[in-house]
Amino acid sequence: MDYFDVAIIGGGGTGAATAYDLALRGLSVILFERGELTSGTTGRHHGQLHSGARYALGDHRIARECMAETLILRRIAADALEFNQGLFLAVDDEGESLTDEFVEACRAADIPATEVPVARAREWEPRISGATRRAVLVPDGTIDAYRLAMRFFASAASRGAVIRNYTQASGIEVTGGAVRAVAARSLRDGTETRYECGAVVNAGGPWADRVAALAGLEVPVTPAAGTMVAVEGRVANMVISRLRRPSDGDIVVPQRRLSIVGSTQRKVEDPDGLRPLPEEIELLLASADELVTGFSAQPFRAAWAAARPLAGRSSEEGREISRDIAIVDHGKSDGVRGFFSVLGGKATTLRRMGELVSDQVAAFLGKAEPCRTAKFDLAPYADYWRLP
Ligand SMILES: Cc1cc2nc3c(=O)[nH]c(=O)nc-3n(C[C@H](O)[C@H](O)[C@H](O)COP(=O)(O)OP(=O)(O)OC[C@H]3O[C@@H](n4cnc5c(N)ncnc54)[C@H](O)[C@@H]3O)c2cc1C
């Protein structure tokens, strides 16, 4: 039987950043991921490093947080990112009339947004829509989703964290109102092992309600599916967004030698086995053509869907739910001490999610060490496989 200070359930970006944060504070950590690392939403997202501009008109706090995290990630994980910048294009009346308010809202959130002449924007990106009336430059970028998460896993493992992929948490033992152990089943050989621990972090993303159910609890999470479509070739090197209030098919992201348009949003009951709908693919290709000339004429590469782990319950599609990070201390909300859920957020804010939940876990375990994950370069992603 093994003992760890903290058991983390979920091996996406959030679990990875949490494992690193806690290990850096000197705590012993084990993480369980039922599939390959990043096989949940983390390995399927759009790949935009959000400057926060997309949220500036709706939620200043999230916009500011994205900007702050973008700057930190540029420092600690530079080679998992592309600093390509972003253009917001006003291509209709709505966009044109929102432009001044948008630039002001970005600046109020410390996002350096600058309106540029359309002719200049076209020099940078010749294929932007002929309907472009105004253009705003923002510090958006591209994330290599896999490498960024793997840099956190490598850093966690180099600090002693034990990472178990293809291992599903199958039970959370609670005695005397506190978590005592996690049971985990190897999906390679079917063996089940019991790991005693002082605390458990639920980093199950859109599966977080199922993870909480292992301890007999409920957490408010709405899995909101989004579809993305990739075509061959880079139609632009910058991230191209439509200047309007967030809606479907607003963003074209260059990713390696592809261009990806996304996304849509619909509430789903089950985050597993999601398929893109034909009408979503059609809508996305048409929306991309309104931003970048000839997007849909590029050779089709792929369409896929993933579920956002939105923190909150919704009977609608979930657009009204904030993208905010939520930490649930189940000791306070449900009388199960030592059990914490980390919900919501973005891939861009993975480090911050790890920090916020680790602050609470460390305080619960009586460990006074502060978060230091913003201070050091992350380990190279390939170190993950080099470690014993
Ligand atoms: C369509 C779409 C586009 C997006 N685009 C962007 C973007 O461009 N930029 C951005 O910053 N963010 C984006 N996001 C948001 C971002 O992808 C997510 O916020 C982030 O990836 C969530 O990471 P996570 O680690 O919390 O969840 P996940 O990556 O889903 O990780 C949870 C993990 O828990 C595992 N798990 C579940 N149950 C168990 C169990 N019992 N035992 C062991 N493991 C278990 C799952 O297999 C999964 O791997 C997008 C999201 C969607 C849906």
Q: According to the model, what pLDDT value does residue 319 have?
A: 64
- Could you tell me the sign of the dihedral formed by the alpha carbons of 204, 209, 215, 217, in that order? positive
187 and 331: one domain?
yes
| CA 295 – ligand 1 centroid, Å | 27
Residue 11: CATH number of its domain: 3.50.50.60
Asked if residue 1 has pLDDT above 80, the reply is no
- How does the average pLDDT of the chain come out, rounded? 96
Cα(8)–Cα(117) distance, integer angstroms: 49
194 and 164: one domain?
yes
289 and 325: one domain?
no
Cα(23)–Cα(27) distance, integer angstroms: 5
What is the number of the ligand 1 atom nearest to the C-alpha of 211?
A: 41
N residues, the chain: 388
Whether residue 165 has its Cβ less than 6 Å from ligand 1: no
Whether residue 164 has its Cβ less than 6 Å from ligand 1: no
| CA 161 – ligand 1 centroid, Å | 20
Q: Which tens digit of pLDDT belongs to each residue from 349-379?
A: 999 999 999 999 999 999 989 999 999 999 9
Q: According to the model, what pLDDT value does residue 380 have?
A: 97
263 and 116: one domain?
yes
Q: Is residue 130 one of the residues assigned to a domain? A: yes
185 and 306: one domain?
no
Q: Band of the pLDDT at 4, cuts 50, 70, 90? A: very high
Whether residue 140 has its Cβ less than 6 Å from ligand 1: no
Cα(258)–Cα(256) distance, integer angstroms: 6
Q: Which tens digit of pLDDT belongs to each residue from 236-270?
A: 999 999 999 989 999 999 999 999 999 999 989 99
Q: Is residue 50 one of the residues assigned to a domain? A: no
Among the candidates 311, 342, 357, a domain finishes at: 311
Q: Is residue 116 one of the residues assigned to a domain? A: yes
Kindly state the percentage of the chain with pLDDT values over 90.
92
Q: Is residue 282 one of the residues assigned to a domain? A: yes
132 and 248: one domain?
yes
- Asked if residues 325 and 344 have their Cβ atoms less than 8 Å apart, the reply is yes
SS3 per residue for the chain: CEEEEEEEECCCHHHHHHHHHHHHCCCCEEEECCCCCCCCHHHHCCCEECCCHHHCCCCHHHHHHHHHHHHHHHHHCHHHEECCCEEEEECCHHHHHHHHHHHHHHHHCCCCCEEECHHHHHHHCCCECCCCCEEEEECCEEECHHHHHHHHHHHHHHCCCEEECCEEEEEEEEECCEEEEEEEEECCCCCEEEEEEEEEEECCHHHHHHHHHCCCCCCCEEEEEEEEEEEECCCCCCEEEECCCCCCCCEEEEECCEEEEECCCEECCCCCCCCCCHHHHHHHHHHHHHHECCHHHCCEEEEEEEEEEEECCCCCCCCCCCCCEEEEEHHHHHCCECEEEEEECCCCCHHHHHHHHHHHHHHHCCCCCCCCCCCCCCCCCCHHHHCC
Cα(279)–Cα(22) distance, integer angstroms: 43
Calculate ∠ Cα 95-283-349, nearest 5°. Answer: 65
Asked if residue 312 has pLDDT above 90, the reply is no
- Mutating to test ligand 1, I would choose from 31, 36, 46 the residue with most ligand atoms within 8 A of its C-beta, which is 46
Q: Is residue 61 one of the residues assigned to a domain? A: no
94 and 190: one domain?
no
| CA 293 – ligand 1 centroid, Å | 31
Among the candidates 285, 311, 337, a domain finishes at: 311
Q: Which tens digit of pLDDT belongs to each residue from 128-157?
A: 999 999 999 999 999 999 999 999 999 999
291 and 238: one domain?
yes
Range of the domain at 171: 2-42+146-220+321-386
Kindly state the percentage of the chain with pLDDT values over 70.
98
Q: Is residue 204 one of the residues assigned to a domain? A: yes
33 and 179: one domain?
yes
130 and 249: one domain?
yes
Q: Is residue 62 one of the residues assigned to a domain? A: no
110 and 160: one domain?
no
104 and 89: one domain?
yes
Q: Is residue 54 one of the residues assigned to a domain? A: no
User: For the chain, what is the domain count?
Assistant: 2
| CA 353 – ligand 1 centroid, Å | 12
Residue 305: CATH number of its domain: 3.30.9.10
- The contacts of residue 281 (CB under 8 Å, 6+ apart) are 227, 229, 303
Cα(156)–Cα(162) distance, integer angstroms: 8
Among the candidates 311, 335, 356, a domain finishes at: 311
Residues facing residue 104 across a β-bridge: none
Cα(224)–Cα(337) distance, integer angstroms: 29
